[in-house]
Amino acid sequence: MPKTVKAKKKVSKTKTKVLSKPKKNEPKVVSKGSVKISKNYIPKDTEKYMCEKHKVYFRIRLTEWKKELIKANNEALYNGSMDDNNISADIVDQANSYIDSNVEMKAINRQIKLISEIDKALRRIREDTYGYCLDTAEPIGLKRLMARPVAKYTIAAQEKHEKNEKVHADD
C-alpha cells in the first residue's frame, strides 16, 4: 500500500493589538489604522493642515452629529405621528396644531438637508478634499471648520456665493 502524506494546514498568524480599558481619568483613544486620537483631542494650527489626525477628528465629529440628527428626526416624526390622534373640534386648536406640525416638518426638512451636507463632507474626507474651498482650493481654516464642520468655502468665497444668491433672488 502506498504511504499517505498528511497535508499540513497553513495557519496564518496575525497579531491582534488589544487595547486595555481606559482608566477612570484616562481619555478614550479612537484610531483609524495607525492614527490614534484621544476623545478630547482638538486640532491645532501647529500641526500640518488636514493631516490624518485632523481627518479622523472631523470624521468622528461629523458622524456623531449625523447620528444625533437622525435620532432627533426619528423622535420628532414618532412623536408627531402620535399627536395626529388628537383631533380637536375647535377650529382654532386645529389651526394651531396644523401650524405646529408645519413648523416641525420644516425643521425636520432642514435637518435632512444638513444630514446630506454631512454625507458630502464625509465623502470629501475620503477623497482628501475636505478642508479646502471648492472654488479656490485654498484651506478653509481650522477655526471655521470647528465652527461649521460642513463648510465648503472660505469666508470670502462664501460671501461671494451669498451675494450672487441675493442678486439672483432679486431677479
What domains, with CATH codes, occur in the chain?
A: 29-170 (1.20.120.910)
CA–CA dist 80, 83 (Å, integer): 5
- Taken in order 107, 108, 109, 110, the sign of the CA dihedral is positive
CB neighbour list of residue 150: distance below 8 Å, 6 or more residues apart: 62, 114, 117, 118, 120, 121
Nearest alpha carbon to residue 66 among 104, 122, 15: 122
Cα-based angle 18, 38, 45 (whole degrees, multiple of 5): 140
CB neighbour list of residue 53: distance below 8 Å, 6 or more residues apart: 35, 37, 41, 43, 47
Residue 95 is predicted with a pLDDT of 86
> For 91-141, what is each residue's pLDDT tens digit?
888 888 888 888 888 999 999 999 999 999 999 999 999 999 999 999 999
Residue 34: is its pLDDT beyond 80? Answer: no
CB neighbour list of residue 122: distance below 8 Å, 6 or more residues apart: 59, 62, 63, 66
Residue 22: is its pLDDT beyond 60? Answer: no
> For 135-163, what is each residue's pLDDT tens digit?
999 999 999 999 999 999 999 999 999 99
Cell 432627533 belongs to residue: 72
